[in-house]
Structure 1
Amino acid sequence: MSFFRSNTSSNQTMAADKDLMNDIVINNPAEDSISDIAFSPQQDFLFSVSSWDNKVRIWDAQGGNPQGRAQYEHAAPVLCTRWSSDGTKVASGGCDNAIKIYDVASGQNQQLGTHNAAVKSLRFVNCGPSNQECLVTGSWDKTLKYWDLRQPQPISTVMLPERVYSMDSKDKLLVVGTADRNICIIDLNSPGNIFKTFLSPLKWQTRAIACFNRGDSYAIGSIEGRCAIRYVDDMQQKNLGFSFKCHRQNQNNNSMHANIYPVNSIAVHPVYGSFATAGSDGTFHFWDKDHRHRLKAFPSQNATIPVVNFNRNGSVLAYALSYDWFQGYGGNKQGYPNVIKLHPTTDAEVQERKK
């Protein structure tokens, strides 16, 4: 089942370039493609950026004047970054197989541990009945590892069916998308076990996963320009689950022929529970899953968008205009944009509402 066509095509949902005029622009935030953006859970305008130039940079855009606050390096491209819940640590992982931890107060970074292949995704999660905060890392070595930041060895290692491509967590729900379209569900009350594994309902490779705020559902995005909304509970899934097309551009206004683009990133609004998608077509959109319609569609920015993320209260959406390798080496032309923009959201854009 898809979103209602009449609603997604309504002029009321279409934004214009003028709706982006107040976006804060950070030019040249990295020397190569941007891979991830993560906001501090404690400050509205403090965020980390990982990139293919082997660096993680921390930016502060308080007052609308972005300032670089710190940076540290890996030995190879960095693929992911996230903050601890108290805002004192930044974690990152990348193609050097290493997990690094940066201490905000001291300005020092150290290697926490390693995988046997690139670290593709990581999250700080609360595990077990004690809600102990751990770092969970997912790798192309087909494992998940849980870490206590005070120890050099992982607390637990979970074998997965394939390489990790995407991962997200909310409350006690952890969802991992791997190669070969496997989706693994983990209940963090029992973090060392996979609760359920199944094939993605989407026909092509998983690109992005985001969990919704209640920890009972999640969104999957794929390279075929589709999203699926899934529920952990089988009955809820039967009644409420659906999929829909997005990030497609009709050819000559003909809906039967469309250019199809990967869904690169999905981010859930931390207050309203609506969500944003971004893709290789250079657009981002806000959606309401409960009422199954699009809230706002923004025009193409003439560069692929590899990642989007909300700040802690959803008042800002960060999006990167940066090459995502969608068209391979040949698409990485000289002068391709490498920019981060911060979009101040309005309730009209992101608040869930009935049609």
Structure 2
Amino acid sequence: MSGLFGGGSSTAASASNQTQGDLKSDVPLSNPPTDSISDLAFNPGQNQSDFLAVASWDNKVRIYEINGQGQSEGRYQYEHSQPVLNVDFSRDGTKIVSAGADKSVKVCDLASQQEIVAGTHDQPVRTARFFEAGGNPMIVSGSWDKTVKYWDMRQQGPAATVQCQDRVYAMDVKGDLCVVGTADRYINVIDLKNPQKIYKSIQSPLKWQTRVVSCFTDSAGYAIGSIEGRCAIQYVEDKDASSNFSFKCHRDPAVNNTVNVHAVNSISFHPVHGTFSTAGSDGTFHFWDKDAKHRLKGYPNVGGSITATAFNKTGSIFAYAISYDWSKGYQNNTSSYPTKVMLHPIQGDECKPRPSMKKR
């Protein structure tokens, strides 16, 4: 199945009043980065305040503390020698890992504010994530050198290396599920209980380059976003394959039979409800219910491409980064282009599944 959530255009038009969200309560993050923002990550630690890590092309990782009113304050920052492409918190919220174009994987301990190089690749590191192995925090990183590497901070050198078909463009981890998207549209699924081999490899059901992968909150599957304004929902196990589908999103209305399509830059799953967001080069974000195949809310254009998104640990805040994503080449990267992070408070049923839809 490939379609547009909410049915055809007439259905979508009649439902637009109920599904149109607003941005009036959104507040900007104080002192944002000075160059394009590549990634956002909230800390998962349950007994802590909300901390947001922001990775940027200005070579820095910045950590902000956010209070219950959405006010933010910069707490710490550290640097790579080249742009930072990805950032993630450890499960207990005490450490941050970052992936750099300088070919390094860095770990920062927030208590001591000390950082170390946990590992290196032969090419820029596109993505890095923490995971747990036998109660010990480990790191998995993916690089344009076509490898996925595992790092144990108690030892030198990679604990293991997995060869991929092509350059790693995207990766996500949830529980024991690791999903890696590479060039040439390969999607590799790795069981982190057996991390040295690929559990399953497919080519993306989407016809164009993979931009983002994001694991379901229950680790049963993952979402894929492409440069061509499509998203695919994929379950890991073959027995659930009948629930796989793809749909169109981040596309402008047709004008003279021509449709402008935009890259899906970020997909984030709500930590409580299991619904998810998509955000794209068109400057919009949407909330979706994959089980009901239904769009929950769509939001007006925010004034620039959305390059990264993240929910906080309770799902009460949705952060989105507005900055240039190079989708229209260097000539569109003007000095007036916005670079900021906005905090959107989740209110009412914005992200709640639609039980009525599931009973149809």
Q: TM-score, normalised by structure 2?
A: 0.93
Partner SS state of residue 81, structure 1: strand
Cα RMSD for the two superposed structures: 1.5
Kindly provide the amino acid, as one letter, of the partner of residue 4 in structure 1.
G
Runs of at least 5 residues in structure 2 that lack an aligned partner in the other structure: none
Aligned match of 1:54 in 28, 53, 59? 59
Shift of 1:44: 5.0
Q: Percent identity?
A: 50
Q: For residues 221-275 of structure 1, give each alpha carbon's deviation from its aligned partner in whole angstroms, at most 9, with x where no partner exists.
A: 00000000001111211x21100000001144x7x43210000000000110000
Distance in 2 separating the partners of 1:307 and 1:83: 15
CA contact (8 A) 1:8 1:293 kept: no
Runs of at least 5 residues in structure 1 that lack an aligned partner in the other structure: none
Aligned match of 1:21 in 17, 20, 24? 24
Partner SS state of residue 307, structure 2: coil
Shift of 1:27: 5.1
Structure 1 counterpart of 2:244: 241
Shift of 1:60: 1.0
Aligned match of 1:75 in 66, 81, 95? 81
Change (3 A) 1:122 1:209: same
Q: Does 1:135 align with 2:136?
A: no
CA contact (8 A) 2:318 2:344 kept: yes
Distance in 2 separating the partners of 1:298 and 1:95: 32
CA contact (8 A) 1:13 1:294 kept: no
Distance in 2 separating the partners of 1:186 and 1:44: 32
Q: TM-score, normalised by structure 1?
A: 0.95
CA contact (8 A) 2:141 2:149 kept: yes
Q: For residues 258-313 of structure 1, give each alpha carbon's deviation from its aligned partner in whole angstroms, at most 9, with x where no partner exists.
A: 21000000000011000000000000000000000100000111200001111111
Structure 2 counterparts to residues 300-311 of structure 1, below 5 A: 300-311=301-312
Shift of 1:14: 3.5
Aligned match of 1:185 in 178, 186, 189? 189
Shift of 1:344: 0.7
Shift of 1:152: 2.7
Distance in 2 separating the partners of 1:44 and 1:220: 31
How many residues are aligned here?
A: 348
Partner SS state of residue 294, structure 1: strand
Distance in 2 separating the partners of 1:213 and 1:305: 22
Structure 1 counterpart of 2:290: 289
Kindly provide the amino acid, as one letter, of the partner of residue 282 in structure 1.
G
| 60-69 or 301-310: bigger deviation | 60-69
Structure 1 counterpart of 2:98: 92
Partner SS state of residue 281, structure 1: coil
Partner SS state of residue 110, structure 1: strand
CA contact (8 A) 1:44 1:311 kept: no
Shift of 1:134: 1.1
Aligned match of 2:204 in 200, 204, 210? 200
Structure 2 counterpart of 1:4: 6
CA contact (8 A) 1:55 1:73 kept: yes
Distance in 2 separating the partners of 1:59 and 1:149: 25
Change (3 A) 1:13 1:28: farther
Q: Does 1:154 align with 2:158?
A: yes
Structure 1 counterpart of 2:335: 334
Partner SS state of residue 109, structure 1: strand
Kindly provide the amino acid, as one letter, of the partner of residue 184 in structure 1.
N
Distance in 1 separating the partners of 2:87 and 2:128: 7
Aligned match of 1:218 in 215, 222, 241? 222
Shift of 1:332: 0.3
Aligned match of 2:122 in 116, 125, 131? 116
CA contact (8 A) 1:50 1:57 kept: yes
Partner SS state of residue 350, structure 2: helix
